[in-house]
Structure 1
């Protein structure tokens, strides 16, 4: 067995629990990237002794590129046809002037959420085509799915609930149908872009992006109606904007973010059946949070301060803990490549810490090599997460192909930065 061959694990010929090698110290630096002993293998050795700029790039697996572009094309296609249902509804509810004002006003909370997504995603950025797919799904496709499903859900579940129509629509129908519609986009991303959806941080990023799109379209409706249906449109718009754009721009993001978080943990196992199960499980807290939000009613302010604000702060804490774990995991995996001769210890500190990255980019910019250094930082992060996927024990040969290509790319980028 060569160093790069998959180690036998459960379900593989030759696996025996009694012949596991002990994990090296610090192989599991955090709970986020736990590795089973039977799947651990050393990083491939750098046979040249030091990075050489002459290595040719290894071929990439075509199907992985195709999955990203395929999802983008599918998302744009579905989004385009969804507009034929969504746009007439918006225009009919708001009028032209209401739609225009609502559209402009909705850009403010949208920008707030998307800037937050960028902040969360800055360590290991997701491919832009997948983020575009997520936004289009949230802003158009999930709205269309909601509009199609709501009448059927109301006809089937409404009478059985025993609630009056308004209460049912607000506390049951909207949470169930809307969270299902939004999270379908997460399920597609997990099934067809598994390379880029392989952890809880990715799940949160994609969920927040989908939710930002959904809230954007929903805000156009609410802001536009404030203009079209009120005798005092200025005051009404200010009140609705304060409630939705200032007090709760992250409401949908937190609802759907719980689903993305749970699906992200399931993605660590790389199993389609578990992914679908996580989709169902993750919908439960999202629907409950959504229903609780819609049920605040007359006690809105007290409930907002005593319940919703702590939930928001808890969400912030979870995201911070995920980011810390992600950085520790990156550092440990790059240290393993350093042990194999691909980096020096100083380079690992430079590439795997926030302070090191900032210092490196500033230095490279002063020498005219800023873009190359940024590319090197990004490539090293991708390499660390590729290694984590290899150590998960699933789809190992395909990820080792990615690893060889990334090591060649890093070698060339390193040479370009050093000069």
Structure 2
């Protein structure tokens, strides 16, 4: 998989980079690249916050990001001309509107979400719940938006008579007002695929992929359909959608916290943790207090490792109870149980 992914990414870059340079020029590309790092950082920091205590493997996050930044962009460039053939040609305005509201939502969400399908089929050990789906979807979307922003920002530099003013204008629109737009679109697909992943079956994964595309395409279409009343629609429709998404993620994290506490209590009954440790390791308040206490004694890093180890153990137990790849996860459980005393000792030494 790794070799195939590298080949796919490199092949995509040979298509994407010349396309960007052809539309932005070298100066526009460089400035666009730098400006695009700002909204990218905002989204990736959010991903890190969501994925803080049970982080996905870095190699899979890198795969997700490069899929969004290169592969999905290349796929969009290859499929886009087919939709151009079907677009109305009565006027330039009709053509542009069709490509923005029909082609872009369908093609872009399909190519981005293909990365989620690859992950759920090839790395199912790490894609086993809605939070995982959101994390991977946000990362793919961050990569896609990063490359797209290079194009939009760089093109303003290359083609505008007043590049400074126009760059600020489009940066406010894309970098300030909508850094999470693609993340919210694709996040709905990841959420649905994450729920399907709880009861593993490749057929469920594929079905969830197609079902999840529908709300993603709809939200993308609504965003691209905003016209003369953009600001009104933005504050009346788009801002509430973002707030709902934020609340939804918070609720998912709360649910994961409850699950972590429940699983660790089972280990506590077997003598692996004390009830006080469970409250410390599985609740937001307990974690904050524990890290603050450990940091005051120079053991903050050790406490974070202890919390992550216990959280990983809880989720491994949940995978065993779900009946997915039981033997594999039982092996992981034994390895984590061997590490827990060492992680605890590092905090208390």
Aligned 1:17-416 pairs, distance under 5 A: 70-71=1-2, 73-155=3-85, 157-158=86-87, 164-416=94-346
User: In 2, Cα distance between the equivalents of 1:340 and 1:292?
Assistant: 52
Aligned residues: 347
* 8 A Cα contact 1:76 1:136, kept in partner: no
Deviation, 1:104, is 0.9
After superposition, give the CA deviation of every residue in 1:268-327 in whole Å (9 maximum; x if it has no partner).
011111001000000000001101111111121111111111101110110111011111
Q: Which protein is richer in helix relative to its size?
A: 2
User: In 2, Cα distance between the equivalents of 1:398 and 1:93?
Assistant: 49
User: In 1, Cα distance between the equivalents of 2:231 and 2:317?
Assistant: 48
394-403 or 299-308, which moves further after superposition? 394-403
After superposition, give the CA deviation of every residue in 1:155-207 in whole Å (9 maximum; x if it has no partner).
3x546xxx942222111111100000000111111111111111111111111
Deviation, 1:395, is 2.0
User: In 2, Cα distance between the equivalents of 1:343 and 1:74?
Assistant: 43
Q: What secondary structure, in the 3-state scheme, does the structure 2 residue paired with 1:197 have? A: coil
Deviation, 1:367, is 4.0
- Partner residue in 2 for 1:66: none
Alignment gaps of 5+ in structure 2: none
Runs of 4+ in structure 1 deviating by more than 4 angstroms, as ranges, are none
Q: What secondary structure, in the 3-state scheme, does the structure 2 residue paired with 1:342 have? A: coil
User: In 2, Cα distance between the equivalents of 1:74 and 1:256?
Assistant: 24
After superposition, give the CA deviation of every residue in 1:28-68 in whole Å (9 maximum; x if it has no partner).
xxxxxxxxxxxxxxxxxxxxxxxxxxxxxxxxxxxxxxxxx
User: In 2, Cα distance between the equivalents of 1:129 and 1:329?
Assistant: 26
Alignment gaps of 5+ in structure 1: 1-69
Q: What secondary structure, in the 3-state scheme, does the structure 2 residue paired with 1:416 have? A: helix
145-154 or 230-239, which moves further after superposition? 145-154
* 8 A Cα contact 2:83 2:99, kept in partner: no
Q: Alpha carbon RMSD of aligned pairs, Å? A: 1.8
Larger radius of gyration: 1
Higher RCO by CA contacts (8 Å cutoff, separation 6 or greater) = 1
Distance verdict in 2 for CA 1:360–1:74, change over 3 Å: farther
Normalising by structure 1, we get a TM-score of: 0.80
* 8 A Cα contact 1:75 1:136, kept in partner: no
Deviation, 1:354, is 1.9
User: In 2, Cα distance between the equivalents of 1:188 and 1:116?
Assistant: 23
Normalising by structure 2, we get a TM-score of: 0.95
User: In 2, Cα distance between the equivalents of 1:170 and 1:368?
Assistant: 54
User: In 1, Cα distance between the equivalents of 2:309 and 2:200?
Assistant: 22
Q: What secondary structure, in the 3-state scheme, does the structure 2 residue paired with 1:194 have? A: coil
User: In 1, Cα distance between the equivalents of 2:6 and 2:290?
Assistant: 38
